[in-house]
Amino acid sequence: MTNAIYYLEAAKADQVAAELAAEGYKVVREPENADAGYDLLATKDGKTIAIEIKARSQLQQASDQIRRLREQALKRGYSEFRLIVANPPREKIIEITGLEEALTRHLAEDVPQALYDVAAQPYIYGLSDLEINAINVSENGIHVTGTGMLDVALEWDGDKEHDGVSLNTDFPLSFDVTLNNDLQITEVHQFNVDTSSFEE
């Protein structure tokens, strides 16, 4: 069993134990001796529930063990045997409508110096593959950190080596900004454009 599965099952056992305790059950975690094998035993008013917790990914390979525990619970006269399936938490997708436009607008008005280091005239025309890493909403505004790809046009004028040359490309961007409720950037904590992959 991997650590991830162990922690998933342990967290589910904690949750179920807390819920049963709130209902007035006396709960024993991983009982020893005759009751070994169950994750939880819950008793209340002469009723005993034997509980086994398995991650969904472990159900098929644990089918024999689950059947044995169910039969064992019936033989011991327990009131109920419960198999509880622990599912991994669902990934939450966070979106802020209009964030790409707000970031693009700000960067177009205040082009990062890193782009001037690779071209005489960089133009920002978009932001793609935006991912939000963290968001914190408070009375001070919306604090957002994340990453994306900055779509730019690079132009060289008056440079003998690149005179008249233009190139459309993109660069990885990480950002840390605070916005107001109108999605206007009020504070820039960090804009980092990674141009290390660019070769003139």
To the question of pTM greater than 0.75 for the whole model, the response is: no
- Name the domain boundary from 27, 51, 86: 86
Does residue 200 belong to any structural domain of this protein?
no
Contact call for residues 186 and 178 (beta carbons, < 8 A)? yes
- Rounded CA-CA distance 104/1 in Å is 46
Average pLDDT over residues 164-180: 84
User: For 37-95, what is each residue's pLDDT tens digit?
Assistant: 899 999 999 999 999 999 988 888 888 999 999 999 989 999 999 999 988 876 666 77
* Predicted pLDDT of residue 175: 93
Q: What CATH number did the domain enclosing 71 receive?
A: 3.40.1350.10
User: For 88-128, what is each residue's pLDDT tens digit?
Assistant: 876 666 778 889 999 999 998 998 888 888 878 888 888 88
Rg (CA), the chain: 29
Does residue 93 belong to any structural domain of this protein?
no
Per-residue pLDDT band at 176 (split at 50, 70, 90):
very high
Range of the domain at 12: 3-86
CA diameter of the chain: 91
Chain CA centroid to CA 100, Å? 20
| DSSP codes joined into one string, 84-124 | EEEPPPPPPP---TTHHHHHHHHHHHS--HHHHTT-SEEEE
Average pLDDT over residues 119-145: 87
* Predicted pLDDT of residue 165: 62
Together in a domain, 22 and 54: yes
Contact call for residues 56 and 87 (beta carbons, < 8 A)? yes
Together in a domain, 140 and 80: no
Does residue 92 belong to any structural domain of this protein?
no
* Predicted pLDDT of residue 163: 53
> In the numeric block, which tokens belong to residue 6?
């162990």
